[in-house]
């Protein structure tokens, strides 16, 4: 099917906003749950949410990439300068990559230490990873670095979105919002 020229198709929009909601909740959850001195029930709840929502983000990102491959996004309007096209391509590529690598490193970090991932456990999906503190430690370091990279790219992404929506009003915002198309 050909993309509608005016914006992303509704499934691409729904997938974007659903992942955005989850990721924007998971980042503060992740940052808070690693702090010392949290009441145990609060920490457990945040970990439970963070790990399981992360698995859902991974699945959503895979679906998004397949959908995008089958339904390429419409071209940007001619008014967008070349450097902004490049910036959009690079930052969107980075967001896809980071939102795939973060759940993978999170998964390895948790499973190599034999901690539960409740949703996967309930489905009987175990792990083939060896128990390894070294692997868990390396995955933890990488997860943290990738998380801060994601936060940095997201700040740019949000600033660009607000700029298009409020200052330029050039239709870029309306390519993605509302989710119903």
Binding site for ligand HEM (CB under 6 A): 16, 19-20, 23-24, 26-27, 30-31, 34, 50-51, 54-55, 57, 68, 73, 88, 92, 95-96, 99, 102-103, 106-107, 109-110, 117, 140, 143-144, 147, 150, 154, 157-158, 161, 172-173, 175-176
20/135 with CB nearer ligand HEM: 20
Q: Please tell me the distance from the alpha carbon of residue 81 to that of residue 119, in angstroms, as a whole number.
A: 45
Measured in whole angstroms, how far is the alpha carbon of residue 11 from the centre of its chain?
A: 16
CB of residue 145 to ligand HEM, shortest distance in Å: 9
CB of residue 97 to ligand HEM, shortest distance in Å: 9
Measured in whole angstroms, how far is the alpha carbon of residue 102 from the centre of its chain?
A: 8
> Tokens standing for 10?
């509704």
41/55 with CB nearer ligand HEM: 55
CB of residue 132 to ligand HEM, shortest distance in Å: 14
Please give the angle made by the CA atoms of 12, 14 and 17, to the nearest 5 degrees: 105
Q: Please tell me the distance from the alpha carbon of residue 64 to that of residue 73, in angstroms, as a whole number.
A: 11
Contact 48, 90 (CB under 8 A): no
Q: Please tell me the distance from the alpha carbon of residue 25 to that of residue 19, in angstroms, as a whole number.
A: 10
CB of residue 7 to ligand HEM, shortest distance in Å: 7
11/92 with CB nearer ligand HEM: 92
């Amino acid at each position: 099917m050909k993309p509608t020229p005016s914006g992303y198709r509704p499934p691409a929009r729904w997938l974007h906003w659903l992942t955005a909601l989850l990721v924007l909740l998971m980042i503060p959850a992740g940052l808070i749950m690693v702090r010392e001195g949290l009441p145990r029930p609060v920490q457990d709840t945040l970990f439970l949410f963070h790990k399981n929502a992360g698995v859902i983000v991974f699945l959503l990102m895979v679906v998004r990439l397949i959908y995008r491959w089958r339904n390429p996004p419409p071209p940007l309007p001619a008014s967008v300068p070349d450097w902004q096209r490049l910036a959009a391509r690079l930052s969107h590529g980075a967001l896809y990559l980071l939102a795939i690598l973060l759940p993978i490193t999170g998964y390895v970090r948790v499973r190599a230490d034999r901690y539960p991932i409740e949703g996967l456990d309930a489905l009987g999906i175990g792990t083939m990873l060896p128990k390894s503190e070294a692997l868990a430690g390396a995955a933890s370091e990488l997860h943290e670095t990738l998380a801060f990279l994601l936060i940095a790219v997201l700040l740019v992404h949000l600033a660009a979105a607000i700029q298009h929506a409020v200052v330029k009003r050039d239709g870029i915002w309306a390519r993605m919002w509302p989710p119903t198309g």
